Structure 1
């Protein structure tokens, strides 16, 4: 998508203070691991760190070394990998924390302390001056040890502006390389975030960064608003993992920066889906199918008018090419599906159908969709093959069937068939409802042809109790004629009956 096509964005970009480039600070291994229920081993952290480095993130916050021996080992192991990204360790404004981070041989330390009234009073129980002095000490101490230093005023967005600016100016003078503005509990709105970052930018010389939480679903929007005001770094996590509702999602921030703002980042976007799936598997946190950029449905189309538009020109219903993020376009079949979507799928399989066959398939797809069933690619393929395999003439046609089965009842099937111009009915028992139905059919057609069942196979195409069942049979007669029959239905008995009748009709047409 060319940004020039969205004139409204172009009209407002002139009012923004956009930076020439934005650095991506990834905290999946630190804040992302704080997702409830997520705990990563050292090897898992190393695996994610390598993926992040291949992706191109600028800083990897590898963990909080002072929090546990295992965390320290993980950070130290990642720092020893000689990755391209800066490896960062988190530390409170305490000498002990800073020493633990420095002992990991990181080249970047992110130090923080709460500054809001609620943090000062209830968590820290410190006054403003004490917090100020501790912030200065931490920055100077880390700076003196030769590492890059980023300072965060935790809960910055609920901190009085005059005090927040005083803290930031003090750490700037102490040598902080970058200042981070955390929206710790996600309380900001985009316009307020833009206003705050603009005011800070007017009073500070060092680059500004933001760390937004998604408590109100605004983490990405607030992060982008900060960039509009001149922030040059954004904290993100893969898949938006993090405390409570999570952090700004890496994949969404990156693609918005590139597409909407035209701001370069060092991310290899084609690897976004790959790292998303990798992190999802390791953490056990599955992404909703409608998740932007990386979700299963991000480039999926069902509605007939959408499919038609996409087939003619992808941009009609896709703002970016799926390949740009390592995704693939999917045509999904259901009750909103049109014939063009079905034709498109059949072309993928190399299956050609006549108009009447296509009409039958279309009606079957619609019927399943109306029942609330999603028609998978495997379902469609099986249904199409079944239709293509039907006998050219229905000499024997099913008029009706009823089955009775249960723990204390002998499985019985009553079958009504139209054989040529005569209607016949028979009831037979069997070891199960399918066997009973086939026995009844055999008894009815025996006068017309002596046909036996040689082979019977059944397979559930997809999972679930409402999965389509595909039945395949081989029938033969005493003259040596053989024919296969196939049917795909939700009802196993009906699928079996249709497959058997299909094979019988093929044999009868040979006579």
Structure 2
């Protein structure tokens, strides 16, 4: 097993083959910068040659930036066995590395290319020679290599025997259809490395059987020198080996040091989620929203008494925090952790009554967040919370030609000065809710009232819901000292659901300020 492993991320090429995903040039550049500057992967594959004008612009912008940063050799582009066309396309944009896509199985060679193995090797050699002439470094994919090893192993070795003396830096072995079991990965790679000890081999896993991460780690154990990943496991069908999982596996299981900055992985995952429009699964290792959340009361109690349910996979490694959910399985420790989050202190008797209500709500399958706690506390302790902010008017106008505009009127009860004020503002925005928030921002400035940062915004409609279905809008807010809280609104109108959630946010902040003073 090698002590150092090259990590190549192909989110911007193979990852973009996921259904419904298409990045703009600016989005590709942003992801490329995070991958190389913050996360610090070794190489990135950013596009396929000759795809479109938009792809050409993306490649040009990334390469221009990479030249300024003196890292253009870390930028790779997929090219084809077409002798000159792919190379000219890459060269004209300033690229320096091409990953040649060759055929790694007789099935693909005969039924797709319809050529002999001798013809294919000759075409590859001519392509490599032309690349060398243009000053472009070549790596080579053996597409469908896994089926090649299973059904036409002699052909795979014919390719390697014929190309091992060529100017090819890396031979890249993809399990294109994700069909290999871990023992096969180990067997095939060990066999190839024994035959060709002086060549550099990469392994490229796909996740069709859900074993891409495991297979990648097995490949490293078998002696592979480089692995390919995508952020969040993005990719065609079931995707590729997720970068964040592979990195943590290398660090924790194989004790291999990489240059990857773990603290930046979550930020990268969320950026790709936002740009791709593909939501990260709640239970996705490392980056899912539930990954560092304890639900059972016994777990929260164990953590409070001695971190009994904490492993080396702790959230701070990824710039995240452990959370303790509220619901029917909650215990006293779950409640105490959440009260600490919102800086509210209760007596032992009060905690007992609040916890009973939380369990009651959980039995009714209601979702309870930290942001709901002030309302539950107010209700349970029979001290009805008089709203500091009450939305009296909200008029939002949208049209095809003009930017949306919102007129907002809030009733503000300033208990410190014992007076009420009606505050009214109007503002434009990029959407109805954005216009509303801009108006709220103006009102907040008038009274010097701090507002949190909107971190996430999701809308849920019941399956099969019609045009009059109730919409639940859930908003995650970032508050002082890196704390977060969630508010929800329910309304048949999506924008009004978001506005309800925002009104709750304003009153939660006011409630916290009152409790802290008290």
User: Do the structures match in fold with TM over 0.5?
Assistant: yes
Report the equivalent of 2:92.
103
Q: Does 1:21 align with 2:4?
A: yes
Asked if residue 349 in structure 1 is aligned to residue 337 in structure 2, the reply is no
Match of 1:294 in 2: 287
Answering whether residue 80 of structure 2 is matched by residue 112 of structure 1, we say no
Per-residue deviation, 1:463: 7.9
Q: 1:71: Cα distance to partner? A: 1.3
Contact map agreement 1:136 1:170 (CA 8 A) in 2: no
The yes-or-no answer on 1:182 pairing with 2:170 is no
Partners of 2:267 and 2:132 lie apart in 1 by: 36
Q: Is the 8 A contact 2:106 2:155 kept in 1?
A: no
Aligned position for 2:327: 334
Query: Which residue number in structure 2 is paired with residue 402 of structure 1?
Result: none
Aligned to 1:76: 60
CA–CA distance in structure 1, aligned partners of residues 354 and 92 of structure 2: 66
SS of residue in 2 equivalent to 1:335 = coil
Alpha carbon RMSD of aligned pairs, Å? 2.5
Distance, in Å, in 1 between the alignment partners of 2:471 and 2:230 is 37
Once residues 178 and 75 of structure 1 are traced to their aligned partners in structure 2, the CA distance between those partners, rounded to angstroms, is: 22
Is 1:89 aligned to residue 77 of structure 2? yes
Q: Distance in 2 between matches of 1:311 and 1:285?
A: 35
Q: TM-score, normalised to structure 1's length? A: 0.71
- Matches of 1:327 and 1:52, distance apart in 2: 19
Paired residues of 1:239 and 1:251 also in contact (CA < 8 A): yes
Q: How do 1:309-324 and structure 2 match up within 5 A? A: 309-314=302-307, 316-324=309-317
Give 1:37's aligned residue.
Answer: 20
Alignment of 1:45-64 (within 5 A): 45-54=28-37, 55-64=39-48
3-state SS of 1:209 partner: strand
Deviation per CA, 1:335-374, whole angstroms, max 9, x where unpaired? 1111111112112223222222211111111111111122
- Relative distance call for 1:72 and 1:170 in structure 2 (3 A) is farther
**Cα shift at 1:309:** 2.3
Alignment correspondent of 1:307: 300
Q: Per the alignment, in what secondary structure is the counterpart of residue 192 of structure 1? A: helix
Determine the structure 1 residue equivalent to 2:214: 221
Q: Does residue 195 of the first structure (1) align with residue 187 of the second (2)?
A: yes
Contact residue 190 and residue 221 of structure 1 kept, 8 A: yes
User: Larger C-alpha radius of gyration, 1 or 2?
Assistant: 1
CA contact 1:346–1:381 (8 Å) conserved in 2? no
Q: Summarize deviations over 1:187-219 as a string: whole Å, max 9, x none.
A: 001111011111111112121101111111111
CA distance in 1, matches of 2:367, 2:248: 30
Identify the match of residue 123 of structure 1 among 112, 123, 148: 112
Which residue of structure 1 lines up, in the alignment, with residue 147 of structure 2?
158
Give unmatched runs, 5+ long, in structure 2.
385-419, 422-457, 461-469, 474-487, 491-518
TM-score by structure 2 length?
0.70
Deviates more, 1:123-132 or 1:24-33: 123-132
| 1:103 Cα deviation from its structure 2 partner | 1.9
| Residue pair 1:179, 1:208 contacting (<8 A) in 2 also | yes
Shift of 1:111: 0.6
Is the alpha carbon distance of 1:251 and 1:123 closer, same or farther for their aligned partners in structure 2, counting shifts above 3 Å?
same
Counterpart contact for 1:139–1:171, Cα < 8 Å = no
Cα deviation digits, residues 206-264 of structure 1 (max 9, x gap): 21101111111111111111111111111111111111111111111111111111111
Aligned counterpart in structure 2 of residue 372 of structure 1, from 365, 374, 391:
365
Task: Say if 1:214 and 1:248, in contact at 8 Å, map to a contact too.
Answer: yes
In the alignment, the residues of structure 1 paired with residue 6 and residue 107 of structure 2 have an alpha-carbon distance, to the nearest angstrom, of 31
Q: Distance in 2 between matches of 1:315 and 1:155?
A: 46
Whole-Å Cα distance in 1 between the matches of residues 10 and 319 of structure 2?
A: 22
How many residues align? The count is 386
Residue aligned with 1:153, SS: strand
